[in-house]
Structure 1
Amino acid sequence: MKIGPKVYWRKTTGEIIYITSQIESPWAVETTKEEDVNFYPQLKGYDQDQLEVLKLEFDKYTQDFQRATGYWINPETGLIEFAYLSGGGGTDPVYQTPLTDQVSDLKARQDSTEAAMLALMDVTTKS
């Protein structure tokens, strides 16, 4: 069984408190938020009403975590955002949608554009 990591974060600020490891094992078992809070020392002492969890798919954003200079959860959307090195030389991190999601969106748009162009070419060549 493959279990993705869980990102525990503070509701009000988006601060990431702890990320569990992903697990691949035939004996792996999904755990609840309450079980994790009792197991991981990093989660103890936090107000449970202010602690949120974002469950990620197995291997989701692995490259983003490796390449990013920082990450947080956007409290308005509940989604993870990453900061990457930029050639602009700015010192403040600029958080954005994960690059893997951006690439997937661009590929889908490219496929859609190519299909539309092929359909248009087909219509114009038959005329």
Structure 2
Amino acid sequence: MKIGPKVYWRKTSGEVIFITPQVESSSARETTKEDDMGFYPKLKGYDAEQVDVLKLEFDKYTEDFQKAINYRVNPDTKTMEFTYPSNSGSEPEKPLTDQVAELKWADLDNKEAIAGLVQIVMENAK
């Protein structure tokens, strides 16, 4: 079973407090927020009402976490935001993996549009 990491963050600021490790094991099981807050030393002492958790898919944002110089959870959208060396000092942005996926879809849309235009031109050339 593959269990992705969980990002624990402050509801007011989006500051990441702790990220649980992802697990790949046949004996692995999902844990609750209460389980984690009682088990992980970094979470002990926090008021559960002031902390939220974002469950990520297995291997989601692994590269983003490695390349980013900072990251947080946007409290309004409850999504990850990363600051990379190339945008340090500016606003956090979407994870690079999400940006790449969006660009791939946009590229596919462009290719379909071009194919449609080529077909129209070919039909009009007859």
Q: TM-score, normalised by structure 1?
A: 0.93
Aligned-pair CA distance for 1:93: 5.3
The equivalent of 1:120 in structure 2 is 117
Q: 1:111 aligns with which of 87, 99, 108?
A: 108
Aligned to 2:15: 15
Q: Give the C-alpha shift of residue 94 in structure 1.
A: 3.2
Q: Distance in 1 between matches of 2:56 and 2:20?
A: 10
Question: Structure 1 runs of 4+ off > 3 angstroms?
Answer: none
TM-score, scaled to structure 2: 0.94
String of CA shifts for 1:35-83, please: whole Å, max 9, x gaps: 1111111111111111100000000111101111010011111111000
Question: Percent of aligned positions with the same letter in both sequences?
Answer: 55
Confirm whether residue 73 of structure 1 aligns to residue 70 of structure 2: no
Q: Structure 1: 5+ residue runs without aligned partners?
A: none
Question: How many aligned positions are there?
Answer: 124
- Report the residue type matching 1:46 in the other structure: Y
Unaligned runs of 5+ in 2: none
Deviation at 1:27, TM superposition (A): 0.6
